[in-house]
Each structure stands twice: as structure tokens, then as C-alpha cells.
Amino acid sequence: MPELEIREFTDDETDGVTALWQRCGLTRPWNDPAADIAFAVSSPNATILTGWTDDELVASAMVGHDGHRGTVYYVCVDPGRQSEGFGRTIMRAAEQWLLAKGVWKLNLVVRGDNAKVIEFYRALGYQTEDRVLLARWIDEEKKPANTPNR
């Protein structure tokens, strides 16, 4: 199994990371990936981890925390490189980044219809907790017309 080298994002990787997210189907019309990247890397409480093998960007995870709980977003592995253990490796790197910051719990939000990803996280030891996720657009100008509430 090839090794995955984990690095922290650098500014010259924006286009490559965005393209990876698009290949993995993670982008949405109402989220500008470049703006999400800029927002994450501007905070001392967040970063983007990138995974490389054979000088090829094949994985990413945006990770951050609020001082209490950690969260990951944009976790992905290039579709042509899945099932090589890279998803497990990038998630472990995100967990280690949080632990180094003193964060002891990681919360995940996964769309309910994404059974494949839910099973992936369960295989890593994540469990469903009895919580209700509530959301509200607090900047109505950012809310796209006819956006599903998810």
C-alpha cells in the first residue's frame, strides 16, 4: 500500500485542492471553495491537511475547532485512489492535529443519504449520537434561491 504524506496547506495549492473537491463531488453552488479555503487558513483554529503520494494531491481534510470540539469538512480522497487507506490516514492526521491543539472530541456532520461515507466513519470508530442538528441562514443574502435546507 502506498504511503500518504500529510502536509499543511500552502497558498499555492488552492487550485489543486479546489479541483480535488470538485472531482470528489464536495462543492456546492452556494459555497465558494476558494473563499472556504481562505477563511479556514486565516484562523489559528483551523487548517487544511493535504495528502500526497507520488507527488500527486490525492486527499484533503479541512479541520478546525471552537476551543471545545473539533470538526472536519471537505474530507476526500481522489476517486481514482480510493480504497488505498488514504481516507483513514487523512482522518487520523486530522484527529492528531486536534489533539495537538488540546481538543479531545471530534464531531462530524454527514448528509443522511450518504450511506457510504457514514459506513466509512463507523469503520473508523465514529458513532451516531442522539443529537439534533439545527441550522439557520443568518445572512439571507448568502442564501441561494431554492436552496434545500441541508
Can you give the pLDDT at residue 63?
Answer: 97
Can you give the pLDDT at residue 126?
Answer: 94
What is the secondary structure of 35-53 as a DSSP string? HHHHHHHTSTTEEEEEEEE
Can you give the pLDDT at residue 146?
Answer: 65
Can you give the pLDDT at residue 148?
Answer: 59
Can you give the pLDDT at residue 131?
Answer: 86
Find out whether 64 and 47 touch, Cβ atoms under 8 Å: yes
Question: Do you know the residue count of the chain?
Answer: 150
Q: Which three cell numbers stand for residue 64?
A: 478546525
Can you give the pLDDT at residue 1?
Answer: 67
Can you give the pLDDT at residue 150?
Answer: 47
Can you give the pLDDT at residue 72?
Answer: 95
DSSP letter assigned to residue 144 = P
pTM for the complete prediction? 0.88
H helical segments located in 27-136: 33-41, 86-100, 115-123
DSSP letter assigned to residue 133 = -
| CATH class of the domain comprising 5-142 | alpha beta
HSE toward the beta carbon, residue 116, CA cutoff 13 A = 4
pLDDT in tens, the chain (150 residues): 689 999 999 999 999 999 999 999 998 888 899 999 999 999 999 999 999 999 999 999 999 999 889 999 999 999 999 999 999 999 999 999 999 999 999 998 888 888 899 999 999 999 999 888 888 878 877 777 766 554
